[in-house]
Amino acid sequence: MTPFTTHTGIVATLNRANVDTDAIIPKQFLKSIKRTGYGPNAFFDWRYTADGQPDPDFELNQPRFEGRSILVTRNNFGCGSSREHAVWALAQDGYRVIIAPRIQRDGKRLPGFADIFRSNTTKNGVLAVELPEEAVDTIFTLVAENPGLKATVDLTTLKAAFHGPGPTEFDFEIEPGAREQLLKGLDDIDLTLHHVEAIDRFEAHHETWL
């Protein structure tokens, strides 16, 4: 897996909450038995009109987002189906970083990303960053006001810096295990195989039908 240390790129925004993996990569593309070829089909139903042309009304099709590699969106991104194809599609469409808000409301904590989606990102060298809701609101405004806005997201220092007219920088947190895996581009099957003796010992006395 490609390691992720730091990334600088153009920021695009998608102003929708609860974007599900059916929307990120619709069912017809799940018939493929390959790991590649998903990029042009990311957000297919929103991205193209009935005659297959890019739909000018879809936010991410705006010319100002040409060449983007950082996606900023709303809460609970990647909910629904476990399909890893969703992350493959985003990665192959050029996204290296996805930023979504962590919302604290009425004593409830609404996460930026759905669980399975988040663990799928780590396994594909894509960085999922949660920021406070106000920070994400600020970024939406910055992007709206500054076409071509770039950001640098640094996993070594855990900082996301937006290169607007003035510097805007946010600290973020990420699970240490996921950070390690991304920084080193580790293959987690290799890592687990280091514990194969522990698995053997466990299996020797574990009854799988109980």
**Site residues, other proteins (CB under 8 A):** 15-18, 20, 22-23, 26-28, 30-35, 45, 75-76, 79-85, 87, 108, 110-111, 114-116, 119-120, 123-124, 175-177, 180, 188-189, 191-193, 195-196, 198-199, 202-203, 206, 208-210
Shortest Cβ distance from residue 62 to other proteins (Å)? Answer: 18
Shortest Cβ distance from residue 131 to other proteins (Å)? Answer: 16
Shortest Cβ distance from residue 206 to other proteins (Å)? Answer: 6
Burial 121-141, CB ≥16 within 10 A → b, else e: bbbbbbbbbbbebebbebbbe
Residue number, 46 or 65, with CB nearest to other proteins: 46
* Cβ partners under 8 Å of residue 90, min gap 6: 24, 42, 71, 98, 126
Total residue count of the chain as it appears in this document: 210
Residue number, 82 or 168, with CB nearest to other proteins: 82
Mutual orientation of helices 115-122 and 176-184 as an angle, nearest 10°? 30
Residue number, 80 or 94, with CB nearest to other proteins: 80
> Which of 135, 127, 132, 133 minimizes the C-alpha distance to 175?
127
Pairing relation of β-strands 150-154 and 159-163? antiparallel
Residue number, 79 or 143, with CB nearest to other proteins: 79
